[in-house]
Structure 1
Amino acid sequence: MTTTDFTLRRDPFGRLTLTDANGTVHDNVAPVRAFPIQAPDEGLALVNTDGKEVIWIDRVEDLPAETAALIREELSGREFMPEIRRIIDVTSFATPCTWTVDTDRGAADFVLRGEEDIRRIGAEALLISDTHGIQFLVRNQYTLDKHSKKILDRFM
């Protein structure tokens, strides 16, 4: 179902509840991005607890402001993917090693298990997974500073 004719609210427990155009209530829905890295505000589904799509949303910004705010708030609580802005240091060029980075959420240290934990996403982006499963995003490896690029090149 593709529509923008629905209402979205939080229930008393803080979960999202969707009422569709037919008046059907869908409790505990969750937003899921189709392309979380390359087009985060385009192509988003609200899915039920079984993972079945209830509503498809082409663009979040086309929604009423209150609905868009609820969706963005829910996504920010569910998604944790710090974006690396600068690689400060690595303990070794052999893995496993500890990386010290500056992210959009502050400074962080993480352990890189192996070079296979650095994955390309498209032509410019990289996804780096640490030993705890946290994924760090490098949105554009070519816009990093010279020092960061030099470190990253040793692992790629």
Structure 2
Amino acid sequence: MTTIDFTLRRDAFGRLNLTAADGTVHEGVAPVRAFPIQAPDEGLALVNTDGKEVVWIDRVDDLPPATAALVREELAGREFMPEISRIVDVTSFATPCTWSVETNRGPTEFVLRGEEDIRRIGTESLLVSDTHGIQFLIRDQYGLDKHSKKILDRFL
């Protein structure tokens, strides 16, 4: 369990500042997930501007509600990984090709450079990178609809 011996506040510029139990202030800390896909709310570090860990948090839920809200808010502002819920269409089964997908953030299209831009993460999840470096998550490839699975199988 995480021992809460620090306070976390936003400064006038919107940056997170951490004050340790001994009074040491760390300005501009940022939360970094250890396992962003498999365990997003477990194993989190607050790092300083040099990237050095200042505090380790076992579980976000162990934090006081106001502190947990600040951490989640900061993570939401820094992370952008839409989840693909359906593959609507692809322009070709040869790469590069344009994928039309539905995500948790709405419908979109992106260009897949090659099959190597689809990476397995665990047994069910896939990470798909587009030509701009944006990563799309397919949390459960086996839970997709039949049409989406058929398209995806052609690339795997």
TM-score by length of 2: 0.98
Matched, 1:125 2:106: no
TM-superposition CA deviations, 1:39-60 (whole Å, max 9, x none):
0000000000111000000000
Quote the Cα distance in structure 2 between the aligned partners of 1:73 and 1:106. Answer: 21
Please name the residue that 1:39 is paired with. Answer: 39
Task: Name stretches of at least 5 consecutive residues in structure 2 with no aligned partner.
Answer: none
Which residue number corresponds to residue 140 of structure 2?
140
Q: Where does residue 20 of structure 1 map in the other structure?
A: 20
In the TM superposition, what is the alpha-carbon distance from 1:3 to its structure 2 partner? 3.4
| 1:7 maps onto 2:7 in alignment | yes
Cα separation, 1, equivalents of 2:3 and 2:96: 48
Question: Could you give the per-residue CA deviations for residues 52-76 of structure 1, whole angstroms, max 9, x where no partner exists?
Answer: 0000000001101100000000000
Match of 2:84 in 1: 84
Q: Please list every run of 5 or more consecutive structure 1 residues that lacks an aligned counterpart in the other structure.
A: none
Residue 114 in structure 1 maps to residue 109 in structure 2: no
**Matched-pair identity in %:** 82
The count of aligned residue pairs is: 155
Q: How does 1:26-65 map to 2 (within 5 A)?
A: 26-65=26-65
Instruction: State the Cα RMSD in Å.
Output: 0.7
